[in-house]
């Protein structure tokens, strides 16, 4: 815990997947029990800071017989291990804050489950609630232009790819900060869930309006058709 508070250990959220974005509960990354460990296979995407993270807060499906919101377990995953591959995603700002993360036979101890097995959806909702509160608190305050750092970070992987952008910024107003902010301005509309998802959350959980229909909510995950994950109506 102290290493988290001091920043010695950096973390990322391994939540979204190519087929499970706004409908996060449709995630398909698998965690299969093998003795006192789980074997992980799947893909995550839009993972901020994965390239410098020591650990990831991972959501993986441990029970495909349960409906999609159940059978999900949350793990604390060590990122620097065989079977975990991080690939940066270049943004139009030239930065690479987001990443794809591929899990191929990676392992995590059963002792590293956060909460209870199969109860990861509740952990995800709590995590997202804190994220959204933080985003709301700094709305309108602007964003600082910072560089990656930290004694144990692996940020040096970003340096060569960022040299061109750094050169452009040095020649622009305020070192290119104005241009960078303009290009990054649309991004907050999807932080912590898109604007549409946030309206659903406010409507359902704050105003008490009827929940958006989701025909797949009570269907065992294994019975969902391939490709339907992430396309059903639903909300985080």
In the numeric block, which tokens belong to residue 97?
Answer: 């804050």
In what helix (H) or strand (E) does residue 73 lie, and over which residues does it extend?
strand 72-78
Tell me the C-alpha to C-alpha distance, in Å, between residue 66 and each of 34, 78, 225, 226: 20, 27, 15, 16
Residue 52: left (phi > 0), alpha (psi -120 to 50), or beta?
Answer: alpha
| CA–CA gap between residue 98 and residue 52 (Å, rounded) | 11
- Residue 36 annotated to the active site: no
The single residue of 8, 32, 85, 131 carrying the catalytic annotation is 131
- Residue in 220, 32, 186 with CA at minimum distance from that of residue 229: 220
In the numeric block, which tokens belong to residue 207?
Answer: 């105003």
| CA–CA gap between residue 25 and residue 124 (Å, rounded) | 10
Exposed / middle / buried, residue 67 (Cβ in 10 Å: 0-12, 13-18, 19+): middle
CB distance 73 to 118 below 8 Å: yes
Q: Which residues pair with 114 in a beta bridge?
A: 74
- Residue in 73, 54, 62 with CA at minimum distance from that of residue 31: 62
Which residues have a catalytic role annotated? 131
């Amino acid at each position: 815990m102290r290493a988290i508070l001091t920043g010695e250990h950096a973390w990322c959220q391994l939540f979204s997947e190519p087929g499970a974005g706004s409908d996060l509960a449709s995630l398909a990354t698998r965690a299969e029990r093998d003795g006192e460990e789980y074997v992980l296979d799947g893909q995550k995407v839009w993972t901020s800071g994965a390239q410098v993270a020591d650990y990831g807060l991972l959501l993986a499906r441990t029970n495909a017989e349960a409906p999609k919101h159940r059978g999900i377990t949350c793990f604390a995953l060590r990122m620097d291990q065989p079977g975990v591959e991080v690939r940066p995603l270049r943004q139009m700002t030239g930065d690479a804050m987001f990443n794809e993360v591929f899990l191929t036979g990676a392992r995590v101890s059963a002792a590293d489950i956060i909460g209870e097995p199969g109860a990861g959806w509740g952990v995800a909702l709590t995590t997202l609630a804190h994220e959204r509160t933080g985003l709301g608190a700094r709305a309108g305050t602007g964003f600082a232009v910072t560089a990656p750092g930290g004694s144990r970070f692996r940020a040096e992987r970003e340096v060569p790819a960022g040299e061109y952008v750094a050169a452009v910024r040095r020649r622009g107003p305020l070192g290119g900060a104005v241009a960078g902010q303009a290009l990054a301005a649309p991004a907050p509309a999807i932080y912590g869930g898109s604007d549409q998802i946030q309206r659903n959350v406010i409507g359902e959980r704050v105003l008490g309006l009827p929940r958006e229909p989701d025909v797949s909510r009570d269907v065992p995950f294994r019975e969902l058709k391939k490709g339907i994950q992430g396309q059903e109506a639903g909300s985080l």
